Chains A and B, each alone.
Chain A
């Protein structure tokens, strides 16, 4: 009674609560029904009846009752107060399989006191048991089993009942935990029909199965036959005899059998036709077996008429059929060893062991014969599967036969061609392809009749040599599969050689894979050349060991860091590819994948950067630029060199050495005009002849009378000019580093030019010829002593900063000189303010800041200066100034406003012919 413990617990509660009042084990009330079992989902009503005594003790009545299910109060709506002592509760459609229902009372202070408790169990009535069936295992009692139907959730008893027409048998009660089968406790009585049925019963109902009526002998499962044994026959190699002991049920029923057999290594069983074993027996001879083969047998039995059950299989027994002579000649082939002498060759005859089903016994040895045309045959008996013989270069015919205990196989004939031999007639359309997990080879037979075909094959690998395996096929075959351990993803080279009666034909080969796979490695791509917008990629063919299949094509993936990947497919025959339309100066990532029919594999990624300039582009820019620069420089140098005298004139004018001059001497006498060459004239530009004295006086703004003084002044003036010129010379382009030297060099040249100028000037200024007489004596001295003088002069000018202002004073003074033409003075002034273009140029040169531009010996300027200097000579007064121009040179003249101002002045003076 499963509900019992529940209410015992409840009773304990009551005991504890009522214990204080001394009412042991006397509950305050009861619930009816006591142990309710209801159908799942049905309605249920329980009543709690309180005892009068208890009601008095607690001062309660039925309205104080509280119902609880599993400790949860039931809603009041489900209560019904029947009378003062009884309250009922109703549940509609009980959906609990098991629920604790308690009756409680609310005592003083809302304290709940448990009165009584029951467990309400719900479930289903049993269904009718189905599929009742019985079996009589031989030697055991009858067992019946059935399908109990749906779960009842209640304890349900199943009873197997059985009876004869004349007798009832004891009920078979199912054991707990196995309510679907039962073994009766009486020995089966065969040949008497028995009626069997099952009754299922629980608290909610009872159900009876269909009655079945049968003869137990038709439900027998015999024991398997025992002591199965197998014996062979020396007379017949194709039979084995089985014998066994029948089970004891043989005494009651007749049997039929089921015999199965297989070769030892096979897993699938073959079966002796059932109709051959339909009657009781204890032995059977199995026929049509292969010789010298181990077979395994097993047997089972059942009632002859098929009523009942097959027994279990007997224990297996095995036997070996007797040997027979080999049924086939072995495959036979030969190899010619590379070592050969003039007259003999070493030939290795090779053959295959016969498979057991062809050997038909243990092969004891092989008989080999070798026969040369019309000569007696040589015989060999070999245990191995090869024989190496030395043969002459003649044609031979070899035969081979395998021998076992019973007999000898047919002979395999192999023609060995003479040496040399021209093989011909190959097979055509050789193909190899995988099918059904085998590598098939197919070819078209040659027109000539073929005795047999030899197939040789090996794995192509870079790591191991080609070790060929081979097989032989009949001459009628043109399709076969390779009978060997063919691995997947390996490249097989298959060679097919037809063998004609005269000898082997020309071999043909083909490559194949049993199953291709993606390459195990991708190709490693690298750049061969990288250009500005293109890159030449190159890679090596994948080694055959990693190809795993025929490489069908490559894919090149390339991308920039940010860009999308671009894919190019390349035929597998290439090992080079040019990526074009790349962006210059960009990092590219490129990788390659090689594809077989089964997939591809990426190789490592390679990174390269396209250059900013194409190859030679930089050179194309830089070299011309450099060349141009060099050329310009050279030209400049050349020009400057050519015009060095001009430059020198400007930078390093020839300065007459005053200390060597003999003014005093030449002042009084007038040098003969004829003595004046151009040079002399020029030197005499600062003439201190009578006329020139006047001039200088005018320049210095010194009064006429003091000739010597004016000379000094002039000297001073020169000194200052020198100082300036040297300053400018320091920044001269041509001889900046050594102005003094260059100017020294120029002296001679300048003299030449000078002479020209003077000459022209002289012509034009014929009236003032005498002016030049003064300087003739000074010139040679200057030439030789110029340099030290200059240095001294520079030093002097540096020391005596006051040398200039006095000279300027001269100007002013000269302006004020009554002797000098006021016009001249005026001109000098205006000279500097507004002069012709030449003068402007000159002035530009004057400005030290512009020295750089003006100094580089621009030919026009130089020319202008030349002209200017030439123009000098126009003005009659210019004669006096000419000397200055000479000595200062072009540049020097520009250095100082004053000497320069002479030029325009003279020009104008030239222009002012009337003056």
Chain B
């Protein structure tokens, strides 16, 4: 998965310049669809991690991962961004998310091997993040924008983490996955309005 972007370039470049409306719509539909499932994913994840994660009303917004860009952004900054910047930030985030979801999936295979539902949801979430990444690349191609270079976000992730650390990491990833999906829906809605079908 580290070579995804390098693969992406040759595959998408030769595509004929098509109307951006279609990939935007598709990406938007996907983002919307993902949005419906993010809270479920988070709830399912927390449920399998035990206390305190599974406690009702568990929330730890202060926890962050340095390798994962935070989705939270002030409205002024977000509003000031142009399409390219929004798409690039999103791409960057979902690339990181897909890698982190893979990592969380691996962690959970160790920590909760008997939880196929959670593992399946994590795998699906990763695939969807991957898919949205592809859709965003297609939009950028359609818009004639340069595709940002690859970035190995996970190279810095410490592998020798404790179970709790891994659970916390998983919590942050699934939480941020939801946040970034929300942000992607907003971004794409904006873009969709800009490029109607």
Contacts and interface: CB of A to CB of B under 8 A. Distances in A.
Nearest to B120: A187
B47 interface: no
B30 interface: yes
Contacts of B30: 190-192
A602 B161 CA distance: 108
Interface stretch (A144-152, A162-170, A591-599, A718-726): A162-170
Contact of B26 (A164, A166, A186, A215): A215
A189 B131 CA distance: 8
A378 interface: no
Interface string A152-188: 0000000000001111000000000000000000110
A166 B132 CA distance: 10
Nearest to B32: A191
B134 A164 contact: yes
Q: How large is the interface on A (under 10, 10 to 19, 20 to 34, 35 or more residues)?
A: 10 to 19
10 contacts: A164-B131, A164-B134, A165-B8, A166-B134, A190-B29, A191-B30, A192-B26, A192-B128, A192-B131, A252-B33
A884 to B, nearest CB: 170
Which of A164, A190, A217 is the most central at the interface, judged by chain B CB atoms within 10 Å of its CB? A164
Given A189-B128, A189-B131, A165 B7 contact: yes
Given A190-B29, A191-B27, 16 more contacts: A164-B130, A165-B8, A165-B134, A166-B134, A167-B1, A167-B130, A187-B127, A189-B131, A191-B26, A192-B26, A192-B128, A192-B131, A192-B134, A193-B134, A193-B138, A252-B33
Contacts of A186: 127
A21 interface: no
B49 interface: no
Among A167, A190, A217, A251, chain B packs the most CB atoms within 10 A around the CB of A167
Nearest to B132: A192
Contacts of A167: 1, 4, 127, 130, 134
A165 B36 contact: no
B36 A189 contact: no
Given A166-B4, A167-B4, A190 B33 contact: yes
A164 B8 CA distance: 9
A190 to B, nearest CB: 6
B128 to A, nearest CB: 6
A186 B120 CA distance: 10
B135 A192 contact: yes
Interface string B111-141: 0000000001000100110111111011000
A166 B137 contact: yes
A191 B131 contact: yes
A187 B134 contact: no
Nearest to B23: A193
A307 to B, nearest CB: 12
Contacts of B72: none
Interface in A314-331: none
B12 interface: yes
A190 B34 CA distance: 10
B11 interface: yes
A165 B26 contact: no
Given A165-B8, A166-B8, A191 B134 contact: no
Given A165-B7, A165-B12, A166-B4, A189 B137 contact: no
A193 to B, nearest CB: 7
B157 to A, nearest CB: 21
Contacts of B120: 187
Given A164-B131, A165-B12, A165-B137, A191 B124 contact: no
Interface in A292-311: none
A213 to B, nearest CB: 10
Residue of A165, A187, A217, A252 with most partner-chain B CB within 10 A:
A165
Which among A166, A167, A215 has the highest number of chain B CB atoms within 10 Å? A166
Interface in B27-68: 27, 29-30, 33, 36
Contacts of A215: 26
A90 to B, nearest CB: 48
Interface residues on B, range: 20 to 34
Contacts of B36: 251
B60 to A, nearest CB: 30
Interface of A: 164-167, 186-187, 189-193, 215, 217, 251-252
Contacts of B137: 165-166
Interface string B1-17: 10010011001100000
Contacts of B130: 164, 166-167
Nearest to A215: B26
A189 B1 CA distance: 18
A206 B109 CA distance: 39
B18 to A, nearest CB: 11
Contacts of B4: 166-167
- Chain A to chain B: the 3 pairs with minimum beta-carbon distance, closest first: A192-B131, A191-B30, A166-B134
Contacts of A192: 26, 30, 128, 131-132, 134-135
Contacts of B12: 165
Contacts of B11: 165
A344 B92 CA distance: 108
Given A166-B4, A215-B26, A251-B36, A191 B127 contact: no
Contacts of B127: 167, 186-187, 189
Contacts of A191: 26-27, 29-30, 33, 131, 135
A91 B184 CA distance: 68
Contacts of A187: 120, 124, 127
A186 B128 CA distance: 12
Nearest to B124: A187
A745 B181 CA distance: 171
B15 to A, nearest CB: 9
Interface in B121-168: 124, 127-128, 130-135, 137-138
Contacts of B134: 164-167, 192-193
B119 to A, nearest CB: 12
A167 B120 CA distance: 17
A187 B119 CA distance: 13
A628 B196 CA distance: 136
A165 B138 contact: yes
Contacts of A165: 7-8, 11-12, 134, 137-138
Contacts of A190: 29-30, 33
Nearest to A253: B29
Given A191-B27, A193-B26, A215-B26, A166 B33 contact: no
A744 B8 CA distance: 170
Contacts of A251: 33, 36
Nearest to A194: B131
Nearest to A190: B33
A187 B138 CA distance: 22
B6 to A, nearest CB: 11
Contacts of A193: 26, 134, 138
A251 B29 CA distance: 11
Contacts of B26: 191-193, 215
**Most chain B C-beta atoms within 10 Å of own C-beta, residue among A164, A191, A193, A217:** A191
A369 to B, nearest CB: 70
Nearest to B37: A251
A217 B7 CA distance: 24
A828 B134 CA distance: 177
A193 B23 CA distance: 9
Contacts of A164: 130-131, 134
A381 to B, nearest CB: 65
A193 B138 CA distance: 10
A97 to B, nearest CB: 42
B84 to A, nearest CB: 19
A12 B24 CA distance: 70
Contacts of B133: 166
Contacts of B132: 192
Nearest to B26: A191
A189 B125 CA distance: 10
Contacts of B135: 191-192
Contacts of B29: 190-191, 217
